[in-house]
Structure formats: structure tokens, C-alpha cells
A and B are shown apart, each in its own frame.
Chain A
Amino acid sequence: MSPETVQTIIDDLGALLLFTMILIIAAGQISRAIYAVAAQSLLIAMAGAVLATATGNADLWVIAGVTLAIKAIVLPWVLHWVVRRMNVRREVEPVIPVSATLALAVVVVVMSFHLSASLGPVRQAITGNALPVGIALTLLGVLVMATRKTALTQMVGLFASENGIFFTAMAVTQGMPLIIEIGVILDVILAALVMTIMVLRVRSTVDADIADLDRLRG
């Protein structure tokens, strides 16, 4: 593949990633947000495969495979399992209206592109628009976490945020060292595991959403 083709594909995947992010923000039910983040992870894995073919970097194949298995299949499945098992509230319960969050999201995306447009020479090191898309995804993930009251939606925001980082990391010309990426994914899995246990524990002892507890103040 020529560098131009790769850049076009990465840019298209970036656009789709932003679209899935909008779906996550707009989702009214937790299960839809989970599907959207799974689709997002699938796109990340595809981006990894494209970059692996283009650069001949075998490490990227491994990363794409692990992303597909863990972030697109296992973690969403676990989240769904928790939703079913605990019979948690199905609505995402936004702190501010979804429309306001969407408006904020637009601002974030525009700012991300504006920011990286100001960096002329740097962008050689990163393929296509991966930098602004990555920044936007990371910030929007935080936005989701800040504006939702249920623990599971906060976890979805966290995964989306990390997808943004992975997208940018893959598009750095040389790719990240494999061992580091594996370590990062391992950490994500462990963190998700610990969070899931906490959610279940609070649900089973006080029948409340852990993200909703607000006794500690002042």
C-alpha cells in the first residue's frame, strides 16, 4: 500500500471512530453504549491491521489481535454480563442533558483539530489525522465519565478514552514497543476486573450504584 492510501484509510477509520464516540455520548441505554464501544475497539483493531500491512511491523498484528480479542469481545461481554446479572438501571442517567453533552463534544473535536493543525512539523511522526482524533477520543471519554452517574457508563467512557490513546500510539511511525502495549492492555484488564468487583460488591451490600455514593464530602 502506498503511504497515501494508508493515510486515507486511517483518516476514514478516524472519522468512524469519532462517529462511534458520538453514539456512546448519545446512547440512552447502557447496553447501546457498550455496543458502540465494542464497535470502536473493532475499528481500532482494523487500524492496527492496516498499519501492520503497510509498515510490515509484525508487532502491530499482535496488538491488533489482542485489541480485537480483549477490548472488542471480552470486556464488552463482561459489561453486558454485569448489566444482566445485577439488573442495574438500564438508563445512563446523565448529569447534564445529552444534547448539551453533544454540543460540548463538537467543541472538543474542533479544538482537537485546531490544536494539532498548529503543530506543523510534528505531524510527520504520526500518520494522517490520528493525532487530533486520538486527542478528541481521549477528551470525549473523560467527558462521558464526568457526565454520567452510573458506574458502568463511566467504565465505558474509560475504555473509549483508552481507545483514543491506542489509536494515536499505533499511528506513530515506528509503532510502540510491543512489550509496552501488552503491559498497558494487561493493566486495562486488571483495572476493569477490580472495578467490576467493586460494582458488584456495592450492589450486593447496599443495593446502590457505586458511582452514586456520595457520603464523603468536605
Chain B
Amino acid sequence: MAETLLWVLPLVPTITALLMLTTRDRRILSAIDVGSSAVLFALTLVLAREVAAGGPQALGVLRLDDLGLVFLLLLVVLTLAVSIYTVGWLRQAVAVGNMKAESLRSYFSLVHAFVATMVVTVLADNLGVLWIAMEGTTITSAVLIGYHGHQHGLEAAWKYIIVTTIGISFGLFGTVLVYAAATDVIGGAGAMSWSAIMKVAPTLDPGIVRIGFIFVMIGYGAKAGFAPMHLWLPDAHSQAPTPVGALLSGILIKCALLAIIRFQTIAAAACGPAFPAEVLLVFGLTSVVVATPFILAQYDIKRLLGYHSVEHVGIVALGLGFGGSVGTYGALLHVVNHGITKALAFFAAGTAIARYGSRDMRVIRGLLAVAPIAGTLLMLAALSLAGMAPFSIFVSELMVLRAGVGHDHWVAIAIFLAMVVVIFAGLLHHVGAMAFGGPTPAAGREAEAWSPLLGMLLLAAIMVLLGLTIPASFDGLLQRATGVVVG
């Protein structure tokens, strides 16, 4: 029964995507949107119980283990929050003409197709299926990024589709190389299945796996937004419609990270853990360092958030690179924390942009006065993103640091700390100026709509909760997921 659910899960958004094409009414579309996301959420909870009780579930090319479950939970929570946020966001966007009322169904249809492909990347056990689904996310989200149809959106979409498509063709090459190494040991059948490869991973040829891992790291790393392959990221994440931007920054780059973790475990078993760890450290540090000056010198609030995502995937890579149970646990927790917080920040930023009619942080002034709740949430999200205690990101960054100290990576820690402190100051400066002071006269002063607030409050509640305490069941899940990676 639980195994069948593995196939039902991607089917829910797929069928929803088709269903969306049958109507043009905004209210009905929004209702289907929220309903479908809620169903996806509920089904995932059922699956989560099965996995917690009976271990990994597998059927055909799909498989869900504790590691995948961490990402799946983040995915469904964000999808639900995005759907709720979209109700009010869309009403406003249609009213001001940002979205055309007659083309809404294709928008919703694409969003759910995008969600379906992401669900498959998380569930895929077959590395080929993983790649196909990953390219699927590129195609669907590229159309969404250019959805507004203006020149900037299309430019961002082109850069995105070119860089990530070429990136993940490297990923495909890496997959082929790992497959070639695996067929040498276990023959053709099943040599693409991650779980089958893991059983024989220590006997794989280290030379070919090493090259394969580097290709995968560059390939899926481009999709995850590691510097120096990150050039598309701030453009794409800032030009996409707000709900899509939240999905891109919140979960899509995490799906690519999951793919990297899958290959990291293979490479660690075949060539020893030191090799993939070094590669991850190099990319992690580069990303943190490269993102910093752009965060400081940024005026566009959404680009700021985009560059910030580059920094945070860097931190996740550092956690994975420092390794050990603490580092890996910290990295996985950081994936969840950053996903939740960044989506919240995108929502709040989108609301602010709609009010001021500008994305320039020098124009957005006195947000707390015109939109007290959204302004407060933006402040909270920014404080959390900056790494302020007691928010969730502080906890996971601390774990990553502790793992680094435990393994004597002093240089990496010094660079990491310096950058985090600089970004902390830069982010607080930016957000403080936006939140306080007298509002710009042009600012919209209408009452805050309930649905965007509800979506944001849902995420804010999780963010605060994870900062104060990690629930025992979630802690257990993260422990087991860490076990999958560290072995």
C-alpha cells in the first residue's frame, strides 16, 4: 500500500496540472491549487509514517528513504505555503495587470508540472530518472521565469535554461561514468539504481567514479547555484513571479543538492570520504566568498535574496564537506531551515514590492508603518537569514561550524566566519532601512490581504519553532537521514 503511494505522489500534481487546463475562473483555479497541495502534504505525512516505521519504501524506479523524506517534507510544506500565498498574490497581480486573467490556467498548470518534476527528483532511485526529472524541472521552471513576458524575464529565463541545461548535461556525463563503473561490477540490470550501486560501491573503480563525481558536482552544482556556475541564479530567482521565486530558492536548488548528496555517498564509498569532501569544501567556500560582495552592494531586494541563496548552498556544501555526523546533520537541517526562511523572505519581499511598485531597496522605506505584519515577517526572515540567534539558521550554522572545528578545518572556518559576519552586517543594514523610518509617499496603504499573510505565518511558525527546539520525531528523521549519508 505504502509503495503504491510512491507513484501516487507525483501523479497528484500531474493530474492537477491537466485539471487546471479545464477552467479559466481564478477562484476555481486557486481552490484546486490549494486543495491539490493539501492532498500532496497529507499523502506525504502518511508516507513519512510508513518510512519511520518500516524503513525505506521502494517500487520500481522510485524509492523513498529517510534522506529523501527530509527533502520531500520541505517540498510539500513549501508547495502548500506557496499555494496559500498565491490566492491573494494573484488577485493583486491580476488587478494591477502583472498577470493576464486569461492565461492563468497555463500558469497554474506549469507550476504543478514543475512541482511534479521536483517530486520525482526527490523520489528517484534510478539515477537516469533523477536526471530526466531534473531536466524536466529546468524546462518547466524556465517557462515560468519568463512568464511575465517582459524582456528582463526572458533574458533571465534564457540564461537559466542555457546554463543549467549545459550544466546538467555534465551531470548526465557523470551519471554515465558511474553507470559504466557499476556495470563492470553488477552487469547492466540495476546498475543505474542508487540503492543497488550503494551495495557494491566500495568495489567500484575509484578512478572513473572520481571523474564521474567531478562531472556531477559541476553539473548538478550549476543547478544548485554553486559559484562560479551561479551566474543565472540571481537573475532567475529575482525575475520569476514571487511564488515561483520562492519555489526556486526554497526547494529547487535543494533538489539539486540531494542529487549531489546521492553521488557523494557513492564517491565516498568508492574513493574514500576525503575526496568528495574536498570537492564540496572548495565549491562551498567559493560560493560563500563570491556571494558576499554582491550581497553588500545590492539594491534590488530580490537579487539580494538570490545572492543570499548562493551563500547558503555554500554553507550546506561546507557542512557536507566537513562531514561526520555533526556536519551532515547540520547541512541537512540547514537545507530545511534555509528553504523555509528563504521562501518566507521571498513572500514578504514580493508583498513589499507590490506596495511600493519598486524592487529598489532605496525606495522601500518604512514598511512597518504601511504593512505592520508583512514588515515584521520580513524583519524576522532577514534576522534569521543573517544567522541571528535564536532563529533556526543560527542553529544549523553553528552545527556546521562545530563540525569544521571538530575536523580542524581552521582556514575554511576563518573564511566562513568572516563572510558570515560581513553578510550579517550588510543584511541588517539593508533590512533595517527598509523596515523603519517614514514611508515613501507612493507606498500603497491598503489593508493586508489574509491569504499571503496566512502562507507567511505558516512558514514563520516553522522557522521560529525549529530555532527554539527540534521536535523529537524530526530529530529522529534527521539522525536517520544522516546515517544514510555517513553510513
Contacts and interface: CB of A to CB of B under 8 A. Distances in A.
Interface of A: 115, 118-122, 124-126, 134-135, 138, 141-142, 145, 151, 154, 157-158, 161-162, 164-165, 168-169, 172-177, 179-180, 183-184, 186-187, 190-191, 194-195, 198, 201-202, 205-206, 210-211, 213-216, 218
A122 B208 contact: yes
Given A158-B166, A168-B177, 20 more contacts: A115-B211, A122-B207, A145-B166, A158-B162, A169-B176, A173-B183, A174-B183, A175-B188, A176-B179, A190-B136, A191-B135, A194-B139, A198-B157, A198-B161, A211-B162, A215-B155, A216-B155, A216-B156, A216-B159, A218-B294
Given A177-B128, A202-B151, A191 B161 contact: yes
Interface of B: 126, 128-129, 131-132, 135-136, 138-139, 142-143, 146, 149, 151-152, 154-159, 161-162, 165-166, 169-170, 172-173, 176-177, 179-181, 183-184, 187-188, 191-192, 205, 207-208, 211, 234-235, 239, 294, 297-298, 300, 303
A161 B234 CA distance: 25
B207 to A, nearest CB: 4
A119 B129 contact: no
A125 B184 contact: yes
A174 B146 contact: no
Contacts of B131: 180, 184
26 contacts: A119-B211, A122-B180, A122-B205, A122-B208, A124-B184, A125-B208, A138-B169, A154-B162, A161-B169, A168-B176, A168-B180, A172-B176, A175-B188, A180-B126, A186-B132, A187-B136, A195-B158, A195-B162, A201-B154, A202-B158, A206-B151, A210-B155, A214-B155, A215-B152, A216-B155, A216-B235
B303 A218 contact: yes
Nearest to B151: A206
B294 A180 contact: no
Given A187-B132, A202-B151, A215-B152, A125 B158 contact: no
Contacts of B294: 218
B172 A165 contact: yes
**Quick one: which of A115, A134, A173, A198 has the most chain B CB within 10 A?**
A198
A172 B192 CA distance: 13
A194 B161 contact: yes
Given A138-B173, A183-B132, A125 B181 contact: yes
A168 B173 contact: yes
A135 B155 contact: no
Nearest to B128: A180
Contacts of A195: 158, 161-162
Q: How would you classify the secondary structure of chain A's contact residues: helix, strand, loop or mixed?
A: helix
B220 to A, nearest CB: 15
A126 B182 CA distance: 12
A202 B187 CA distance: 48
Given A142-B166, A216-B155, A119 B207 contact: yes
B162 A172 contact: no
Contact of B129 (A141, A165, A180): A180
Contacts of A122: 180-181, 184, 205, 207-208
Contacts of A210: 154-155, 158
A19 B209 CA distance: 29
B191 A174 contact: yes
A127 to B, nearest CB: 10
Contact of B192 (A141, A180, A213): A180
A187 to B, nearest CB: 4
A205 B191 CA distance: 48
A-B CB proximity, top 9 nearest: A174-B188, A180-B128, A213-B155, A183-B132, A122-B208, A187-B135, A119-B207, A125-B180, A172-B180
